Amino acid sequence: MTLKVSTSLDAGTLCGSNSFDLAFFSCGYESRCIHFFNALHGSLKNIYVFDYSCPGQGSYDQNARVYKSLKHISIIRASTDSASLRAEIFKALKSASSGKTCINVYFDISSSNRKISAIVLELLYFLASNGVESRLTVSYVYSKYVPAPEATATTQTFEPVTPFYSGWSLDSGLPVSLIIGLGYEKGRALSAIEFLEPRRTIAFCPNNGSGSFDKDTGKEYSQIAKSCPSIERHDYNVKSFESLFWSLDSAISGLKENSRVVIIPMGPKLFHLGALLCALSHRPRVHLYRISGGSNDPPVDRVAEAGSESYIHIVVDKSLCESRSIS
Amino acid sequence: MDKATLLENFNARFSPPEEVAKTFIPPHNFPKISKFFHSLIIGPRGSGKTTILKMLTPAAVHSWNSIAPSARGKIPINYVGVYIPYDSTMANQIGNLRFDHSITGERIEIGKMSSALMHGAFSAFILQAIVKSVGDLIDSGRLPASAANNAQMFHQLAKIWNLPGDNYSLLSIAAAVRERIAEIHDVVNKFYFGVIDTKELRLYISNGIFTRDPIQSINLTIDTIDSFCKTKSLKWAFLFDEFELAPDSIRTILISAMRSTSEQRFVIKLTMAPFDSSFAALTRTGGPSDGNDFDLIPLWYPLKEDGQKFCHQIATSVFRQHGYRDPSPEVVLGHSLYCSNRNKGGTKNHEYEKLIQSLRSTDDSFSEYINDESRRHIYSNISAITDDNVRAQYIRKPLAAMTFRDYFLDSWKTKQKPKFRSRKSNQIYSGMEFIFALTEGNPRWLIGLLHNCLSRTETGRPIDPSIQQQEITSLMNRYRSLLKAYTDPQSQSGRGLLDFIDKFGHAISNKFYGEKYTPDPVLSFSIDSTADKYFLSLVSTALNAGAFIYLPDGDGSSLLSSFKGKEFRICYLLCPQYKLPLVSGRPISHGKLLGNADPPKDNSAPVQTSFLWVQDDT
């Protein structure tokens, strides 16, 4: 796998230097769903949109109108069951990669849910294992600060993000080490720590230069540290993805020989992306979980913070599938 | 104090048995647990199940028996304990073999194959534990050192376990078992990626160990070790931790296998949560039965008095470790309100009188109660009452109700909402007796709480009640955090397990403070026959998480095969949230109780957004 990150590109340069075989966007209640789409769609073909179908919520209706106004867009129902969702995404990738040994994929993860991001990466891994290399460009735009909800919703899901990421340890007696990407959801990280009872916990705390967001996550960290004084803190700059990735990779490498490594990526979606890539790279030694309130979480319309766009270029090739062996 | 010794690390799961032995305090039923007999050890998280199993392994027994054996008494174990660790992460790892589609979304009907894969994967972990134990036996001299390279024995074991190849030693067979575990993942991966088809997967399963009965494998393994190492007298105990998470097929086989036979060479000891659907097999006629075939050992204390001795031993040990010259908990923690010298009759009469005077001035219903003609003569002159039965009925038994109403109520008047005192902290819960009750005989809670208190106290000094109170609140909040992690996929309204538990807590609190004084208040509940499946699943989760405590009736068994008509109380650790006394009280049916779930609001009590009229000090 090769990783290259650029944060200074503009949309025109991005499309000028790449010819994407297909592109994935999302249609949900966040207004930032269409942030990149508006800038890029004219130069893209084979556009697939994950439809979260939530009429009346946030900016969904407005987003849906934008997507529906264009004819060359294919819709994938995001709320369908895992097998159907997977089959739809695979169909799109297969058709784009037909007769090729390399495909260029564009994926805007800003409003994509974590399960879909996981499936897309999983399928690219699958293509790579079958000799089709992917050049993936991921885009992400930060949202303007929205205060954390007063109360965190009941946990609806706490499980491996998909079976593919459930991990496989060779020794059931090894302790659990937890790497947790901290978000601002009050108490959710602590409940995960209490549940998994890790011997060692490393909290990755995002720092995006926004005073309010950093303050929220800082508060959350302090709460956890009160209960788990031995928790280790690692601050990361959300705008420096490459550094985040290598920090995660290094933490996993240090932990995996003597423990079962569980990652729970909360917080910014870029942390989730980093966790997915690390889970693939260290597969199957990493157990990647998601914890979420699902439909219990109140919908929050996130508005794009202009000028905070990130583009990450990843080459998913056969070397990723062969990079680390289990035994 | 070193941070690494705080609450989070009082978990035996990842500690080697030798370490576990160093701080082990045997619960009263440990002799029963350690007998060479099948055991089903049930208890919620933190109740000490893993510690107990680890204490049955050769390394822990050796460590225990070699450290001050005269002071602590030796553990007379004459069998080899094989500890088989398991947890939720492992359960997810194995559980995900239950897939129904390929990576590309293609639907797959693999039917029984996924059960076979899970069965095989779990069996491989059993083999791994056996190999480790053989190594330990060689290290400790109980098996000859030559056994490590006994090619014939390992050849035979490899054959039993369907491991490929020949010429095994202890080290190489351990590696082969790891390879088998890795291979399961590889094969499933190939199938998931479409590299092999159903037919090939089936062939792999049928050639592997996937369908073998683990009891049969264990028997053959013991036979082989016996015959090659000449160890006819060696007995074994297979210790399965968190067994409720094991695959269904393994659970069914092992639970059904818990039958006592006259020439037994191995026994099974399972730790499980307080409720599991597989318990039905143990209450069925003809199935293995408690006492005859296995011992059922509950690790919780429905009545707080039952756990006080164990807690006292733990606390004494903790204080001693912290350098206290007088480590008695009575001195370090002090007594809880109205708990000192409770059994010494008249010595506390003036305190009772003070309490009665105080409560009658704030609580009209109490005043009415004690002024009733039948009772007036008793409450007007407590010191004159010498008959112990009368004192028990009118003074000691209602003491909890009187104390808590007096502590929390500012005024209670007929047809008015109760008014609560504004208190900055709930120090009522401090003191030895209440701390022991709050921690429910759960060693992890008690040790963690005491260590946290001690980290804020000068060595040798008593622990200030305000520190005790703060640490109790902190422990309760951590426990509430844990309860939030229990998922509720059916929840459509943002409500989950904790909300469910809070509903009971608030409803009981409503009855306790909202209704007239009664010496025998409602503080527990029974489950109606009207409860639906979803409701019962929440009760089951609350029970297994330790938030509800099962109260078996008189001579009733602790084994629950259904909930209907059974009585429960709320875990005492949660009681400060609802200002409830730490007694089980009188039960009420859940239907009647929850009809009264909305907390009353009064003018003086601060209204909280999350827990309404419970004043939150955090």
Q: Which residues of B touch A118 (CB under 8 A)?
A: none
Which of A172, A200, A291 would best serve as a mutation to test chain B binding (most B beta carbons within 10 A)? A172
pLDDT score for A49: 97
Contact call for A85 and B105, based on CB within 8 A: yes
Pairing of strands A102-108, A22-27: parallel
Pick from A23-32, B218-227, B461-470: least confident: B218-227
Reply yes or no on whether the pLDDT at B294 is more than 80.
Answer: yes
**Mean pLDDT calculated for residue range A173-196:** 89
pTM of the model: 0.87
pLDDT score for B315: 96
Reported as a pLDDT band with limits 50, 70 and 90, residue B97 is confident
What does the mean pLDDT of chain B come to? 85
Nearest chain A residue to B85, by CA: A173
Reply yes or no on whether the pLDDT at B342 is more than 80.
Answer: no
What digits encode the pLDDT tens for the residues A100-155? 999 999 999 999 999 999 999 999 999 998 899 999 999 999 888 888 777 667 77
Q: What span, in angstroms and rounded, lies between the C-alpha atoms of B357 and A205?
A: 56
Q: Which residues of B touch A86 (CB under 8 A)?
A: 101, 103-105
What does the mean pLDDT of chain A come to? 88
Please, are residues B252 and B281 in contact by the beta-carbon 8 Å criterion? yes
Q: Which residues of B touch A157 (CB under 8 A)?
A: 487, 489
What digits encode the pLDDT tens for the residues B352-374? 888 999 999 999 999 999 999 98
Q: How buried is residue B383: exposed, middle or buried, by Cβ count under 10 Å (0-12/13-18/19+)? A: exposed
pLDDT score for B460: 92
pLDDT score for A156: 74
What digits encode the pLDDT tens for the residues B200-217? 988 888 876 677 788 888
Containing A321, the helix (H) or strand (E) segment is helix A318-322
**Mean pLDDT calculated for residue range B388-415:** 91
Contact call for A154 and B496, based on CB within 8 A: yes
pLDDT score for A11: 58
pLDDT score for A233: 95
Q: How buried is residue B389: exposed, middle or buried, by Cβ count under 10 Å (0-12/13-18/19+)? A: exposed
How large is the C-alpha radius of gyration of chain A? Answer: 19
B125 Cα to chain A: minimum distance (Å): 7
Query: CA of B416: how far to CAs of A55, B404, B410, B419, in Å?
Result: 47, 19, 12, 9
Reply yes or no on whether the pLDDT at A325 is more than 70.
Answer: no
Reported as a pLDDT band with limits 50, 70 and 90, residue B4 is very low
Contact call for B485 and A176, based on CB within 8 A: no
Contact call for A156 and B610, based on CB within 8 A: no
Q: Does A232 touch chain B (CB under 8 A)?
A: no
**Mean pLDDT calculated for residue range B437-465:** 94
Residue A131's region, left for phi above 0, alpha for psi from -120 to 50, else beta, is: left
Reply yes or no on whether the pLDDT at B601 is more than 60.
Answer: no
Pick from B276-280, B333-337, B486-490: least confident: B486-490
Residues 6 or more apart in contact with residue B416 via CB below 8 angstroms: none
What digits encode the pLDDT tens for the residues A52-106? 999 999 999 999 999 998 888 999 999 899 899 999 999 999 999 999 999 999 9
Nearest chain A residue to B178, by CA: A170
Lookup: tokens for B534: 């979803």
What digits encode the pLDDT tens for the residues B521-557? 999 999 998 888 889 989 999 999 999 999 987 666 7
Reported as a pLDDT band with limits 50, 70 and 90, residue A299 is confident
Residue carrying the six token digits 């957004």: B609
Contact call for A172 and B90, based on CB within 8 A: yes
Please, are residues B236 and B164 in contact by the beta-carbon 8 Å criterion? no
Q: Which residues of A touch B185 (CB under 8 A)?
A: 168, 284, 326
Query: CA of A133: how far to CAs of A21, A103, A104, A128, in Å?
Result: 13, 6, 9, 5
Q: Which position has the higher pLDDT, B244 or B386?
A: B244
Reply yes or no on whether the pLDDT at B618 is more than 70.
Answer: no
pLDDT score for B2: 39
pLDDT score for B345: 45
Contact call for A227 and B609, based on CB within 8 A: no
Q: Count of A–B CB contacts within 8 Å?
A: 165
**Mean pLDDT calculated for residue range B379-390:** 85
B293 Cα to chain A: minimum distance (Å): 29
CA dihedral B11, B17, B22, B24 (to 10 degrees): 60
Q: Does A151 touch chain B (CB under 8 A)?
A: yes
Q: What span, in angstroms and rounded, lies between the C-alpha atoms of B302 and B587?
A: 13
Which of B11, B19, B51, B487 would best serve as a mutation to test chain A binding (most A beta carbons within 10 A)? B487
Contact call for B8 and A169, based on CB within 8 A: no
Reported as a pLDDT band with limits 50, 70 and 90, residue B616 is very low
Q: What span, in angstroms and rounded, lies between the C-alpha atoms of B23 and B62?
A: 14
pLDDT score for A293: 73
Reported as a pLDDT band with limits 50, 70 and 90, residue B615 is very low
